[in-house]
Structure 1
Amino acid sequence: MMELFGITATEYIGYLASFMVLLSFTMKDVVKLRVVNMIGCILFVIYGFLMPTFRIGLPIIIANAAIFSVNVYYLLQKRS
């Protein structure tokens, strides 16, 4: 995997995912919060799949897929 400044592309995805989730907690608008959090979740799922072994990434994938689903559910509820 490619490295830049000694950090792999997988690690950059993990850092970006963490940043997006953290950023979502600073938002007052609930819709924006959920959308930014969903982006973080998607990045964490990608990060989980890129982990060296599937066993290591599976808890990350499961947790963030579940959080993503909760966000989708509440966004759809808000539309109704």
Structure 2
Amino acid sequence: MENWSQYVGYLASVFIVASFLMRDIKAIRTVNLLGCICFVIYGIYSGMLWPVIIPNGILAFIQIYNIIKKD
């Protein structure tokens, strides 16, 4: 597998799109979190793509916060 980071980027896109197809908020946040993590990995291993890494890293922390917070 020559450029595996591209596959991680595609997987990230699938997770993000899938999160928009869900209704349960916890499932949305969990799947979106997986997409954000994949995008951060993709950004790091594709040459430190900061415009990809920074927003997805921030969004990942927001999703984690919202998943674990008590209502």
| TM-score above 0.5 | yes
One-letter code aligned to 1:32? A
Q: Which residues of structure 1 form unaligned runs of 5+? A: none
| 1:1-80 alignment, distance < 5 Å | 2-3=1-2, 8-51=3-46, 53-54=47-48, 57-77=49-69, 79-80=70-71
Q: Deviations over 1:37-78 (max 9, x none)?
A: 000011001001111x32xx112111101111111222233x
Alpha-carbon RMSD: 1.2
Question: How far is 1:26 from its partner?
Answer: 0.4
TM-score (norm 2): 0.89
Q: Which runs of 4+ in 1 moved over 2 A?
A: none
Percent identical pairs in the alignment equals: 39
Q: Which residues of structure 2 form unaligned runs of 5+? A: none
TM-score (norm 1): 0.80
Question: How far is 1:13 from its partner?
Answer: 0.6
One-letter code aligned to 1:66? I
- Greater gyration radius: 1
